[in-house]
Amino acid sequence: MKRIISIMLCGFMMFSMAACASGGGETSATTAATSADNPDNTVTTAEGTTTEATTADEGYKPVVSEPRDASRGYRVLFIGNSFTYYNDMNKPNGIFYQIAKNAGYNVTVDSVYKGGYYLHQFLNEKDEYGARALNLLSTVKYDIVILQDQSASPISNPGNFYDSCRRFKELIDKNGAEMWIYETWGYKDGYKGLPPYGKDTFDMEMKLRAGCAAIGKELGVPVAYAGAAFSQSYKDHPEIELYYTDIKHPGVMGSYLVAWTLFGTIFGVDPAILTYDGTVNAEYAKILREVASDIIKNGAPVDAAYAISSEGVTAPKTDEFVDASKTQMLTSLPKSDLLSVIVRDSNVQGDGWTTYNGNDGKTFSGIRGDKDKIASPECSGTELTEDQKKDIADIGYGVSVIGISHMDGTQKGAVNTTNTARDKTHSVINLVNGHWGSSYMASIFFDSDTYNINGEKDVLSHYTGLITLNFGEKVSFDAIGYMSGSLKGFAQAQDVYVSDDGVNWTKVESACYDAFLTPLKSVDVSTMKDPWKGNTAKVGVMFSMAGYSGKYIRIGIYRGGIIEANATGLQEINTREIVVFGKKTVS
């Protein structure tokens, strides 16, 4: 008890001094959920311009300026994804809980989390995790709810991020809890998914900070700037590895820093006066607590050049997206034939054929189209030439792509091509090569133009790319599916069409989807072996095409998927295989 009282007194004195140094005034824990100090370092003038704050009164003040009452219990709910659950930071007895316990607090920690999820998915009552989150908010009384969106969403999808926060604010207010926004960090320099979000780690983090600060200010809810603590430690203490090996997620020390920043900010306790090290060595643990302390006491101002407002910024209307009202996602694998992979018994070489060692002498290829070739032989790791793009767009091949910019040169070349150098991949072939193992990804980047379904550039249309499968003859379709290592690889919104002649296209409404409205669900693909080596994909999403037939299938990509960290809305897809089920028919 003496230790707890000492902690409370020390924390109170340090936060009181910090509040005085920043211009005085305190925000009590009881009002933190409905009012928050200006989280950036800017002042809006009467003329509406924004200038950098210059006086102490205009600076940052801690949201919770004195320690919370440690004599009562607190129930905390985390809602987020892998940036929350890595290293068990949010588990009932995880890092956050252990820190609170060692600081003398009785905290019960609940969580709803799913890798790669956006906040809007947790608001969908038809989604498994959304239903869970909504149920907890309606049935369990919480003191604190901590929200973490997809790690780039405040930059890539600000309207969606803001709308999700607005809706959660209503639900959390109804619950009677305090709502806190958990700001994440910039991906580590060298991460290939970093450039779309910022020129470097610090640029990305400042953009995230600005987005969180903007909606925090609009809603009057506080932000816990864990990302700012990440940035400061990354800059001042490079010897401490905060990142997991993928240089994006938090490593053990990163999660330790995040937990301390969240706890210290929310509970008003100065991390620098406590000594809980957890699994982190004492030297580094002390440094990380001091970094968290600095951010909590001195704030995370938004540079004037980055300051933004969330007022009036909303997600695009759903009618601007793909119409997903008639989507029919299958719950099991079709029983019909797999049409998009062809088995050829003869040992033929050239024009995309190759014999793969170890497959009992069988020879496979993707669909060959009218040209009796799988795809254009053109490949790239950088920008394709106009002639290369034109060849790849030729629907005479078994698979073709209109609107391609380049292919990810870090991915391994397909088994169906002689060019397997990692700096030159033939990702178009990879779309139908029939190999569902650990390589041969189709990582395709689209250009900035938009196209109509006929493949013509059209500024009034919304397809950023068109993928066409040519079966060489008319067939009847049962289902179309996508095989990959995760649900992130698929386009997040797309339409599907069929055609007999490659000119007139009919939409297959059951196979069109928008993952914002209908979250993708994987069927059990464990029994579906690839024809090369008997491998299985990790996930497979299947859509009905029953009742449709044609020689061609065309997929109109409206919103690309996620390549590594790149968020929905970018012009990219990254998948292992497009699979089509059905049967041959007589014309």
Q: Compare 256 and 420 and report the one with higher pLDDT.
A: 256
**Model confidence at 344: pLDDT above 50:** yes
Lowest mean pLDDT among 184-193, 223-232, 554-563: 554-563
Confidence at residue 320, expressed as pLDDT on a 0 to 100 scale: 53
Whether residue 178 is found in the same domain as residue 87: yes
Whether residue 236 is found in the same domain as residue 344: no
**Model confidence at 252: pLDDT above 60:** yes
Whether 18 is in a domain gets the answer: no
- Residue 550's alpha-carbon distances to 459, 498, 500, 504, 505, in angstroms, are 28, 6, 5, 11, 10
Domain edge (last residue) among 303, 336, 352: 303
Whether residue 371 is found in the same domain as residue 429: yes
Of 507, 509, 485, 506, residue with least CA distance to 561: 485
Whether 16 is in a domain gets the answer: no
Whether residue 259 is found in the same domain as residue 118: yes
Q: Compare 3 and 455 and report the one with higher pLDDT.
A: 455
> pLDDT-derived band of residue 31, with 50, 70 and 90 as boundaries?
very low
Q: What is the mean pLDDT of residues 482-504?
A: 87
Q: Domain tally for the chain?
A: 2
**Model confidence at 13: pLDDT above 60:** no
Confidence at residue 10, expressed as pLDDT on a 0 to 100 scale: 42
Confidence at residue 204, expressed as pLDDT on a 0 to 100 scale: 97
Confidence at residue 365, expressed as pLDDT on a 0 to 100 scale: 60
Whether residue 387 is found in the same domain as residue 415: yes
Confidence at residue 439, expressed as pLDDT on a 0 to 100 scale: 60
pLDDT digits (tens, 9 = 90+) for 51-82: 333 333 333 455 667 899 999 999 999 999 99
Whether 298 is in a domain gets the answer: yes
Whether residue 324 is found in the same domain as residue 294: no
Mean of per-residue pLDDT scores for the chain: 81
Confidence at residue 310, expressed as pLDDT on a 0 to 100 scale: 96
Q: Is 361 exposed, middle or buried (0-12, 13-18, 19+ CB in 10 A)?
A: exposed
Q: Compare 274 and 445 and report the one with higher pLDDT.
A: 274
- Contacts of residue 228, defined as CB under 8 A and 6 or more positions apart, other chains included, come to 183, 205, 209, 295, 300
Estimate the crossing angle of helix 2-21 against helix 282-298, to 10 degrees. 50
Whether 206 is in a domain gets the answer: yes
Euclidean distance between CA atoms 423 and 408, whole angstroms: 8
Whether 52 is in a domain gets the answer: no
Most trustworthy range by pLDDT among 251-255, 360-364, 412-416? 251-255
- Residue 398's alpha-carbon distances to 99, 384, 496, in angstroms, are 58, 20, 17
Whether residue 194 is found in the same domain as residue 333: no
Whether residue 292 is found in the same domain as residue 343: no
**% of residues, the chain, pLDDT over 90:** 52
Pairing of strands 144-147, 178-182: parallel
Domain that holds residue 550: 319-584
Whether 289 is in a domain gets the answer: yes
Whether residue 256 is found in the same domain as residue 368: no
Q: Compare 375 and 212 and report the one with higher pLDDT.
A: 212
**Model confidence at 316: pLDDT above 90:** no
Tokens of 234: 């990354």
Whether residue 138 is found in the same domain as residue 244: yes
321-335 exposure pattern, b = at least 16 Cβ within 10 A, e = fewer: bbbbeebbbbeebbe
DSSP label at residue 329 = B
Q: What is the mean pLDDT of residues 456-480?
A: 89
Whether residue 169 is found in the same domain as residue 284: yes
Confidence at residue 366, expressed as pLDDT on a 0 to 100 scale: 63
Q: What is the CATH number of the domain that holds 400?
A: 2.60.120.260
Tokens of 488: 């992130």
SS3 of 107, please? strand
DSSP label at residue 170 = H
Confidence at residue 531, expressed as pLDDT on a 0 to 100 scale: 72
**Model confidence at 426: pLDDT above 90:** no
Q: What is the mean pLDDT of residues 393-420?
A: 73
Q: Compare 166 and 575 and report the one with higher pLDDT.
A: 166
Full DSSP string of 553-580: EEEEEEE---STTPPBTBSEEEESEEEE
**Model confidence at 286: pLDDT above 60:** yes
pLDDT digits (tens, 9 = 90+) for 531-545: 767 788 888 899 999
Euclidean distance between CA atoms 7 and 108, whole angstroms: 20
**Model confidence at 19: pLDDT above 50:** no
> pLDDT-derived band of residue 104, with 50, 70 and 90 as boundaries?
very high
Euclidean distance between CA atoms 429 and 19, whole angstroms: 61
Q: What is the mean pLDDT of residues 356-385?
A: 72
Q: Compare 405 and 586 and report the one with higher pLDDT.
A: 405
Confidence at residue 526, expressed as pLDDT on a 0 to 100 scale: 85
Euclidean distance between CA atoms 447 and 572, whole angstroms: 9
> pLDDT-derived band of residue 211, with 50, 70 and 90 as boundaries?
very high
**% of residues, the chain, pLDDT over 70:** 77
Domain edge (last residue) among 269, 303, 337: 303
Whether residue 231 is found in the same domain as residue 379: no
Estimate the crossing angle of helix 95-102 against helix 252-267, to 10 degrees. 50
Q: Compare 140 and 518 and report the one with higher pLDDT.
A: 140
Whether 104 is in a domain gets the answer: yes
